Structure 1
């Protein structure tokens, strides 16, 4: 998709799942809108 919308994407993920999602988002080349209360997660892939 041209825009990826994620609402609290780390809910119910274990640490390995979160690392996998972070890696995916770091390499995703299109627009991503993420709603999350997890600042550490957000800082892992944002500029």
Structure 2
């Protein structure tokens, strides 16, 4: 449908309480270099 959600901040907070944050660290890949350099970084993960 084209209706906007009627969920408000209370619904958002309820959903947030039900889910735990991820325990794994963020992974950062710098893809500003060449494709080969990017793949090298991925291989090292």
Q: TM-score, structure 2 length as denominator?
A: 0.32
Question: Which gives a bigger RCO, structure 1 or 2 (Cα 8 Å, sep 6+)?
Answer: 1
> Normalized per residue, which structure has more helix?
2
TM-score (norm 1): 0.31
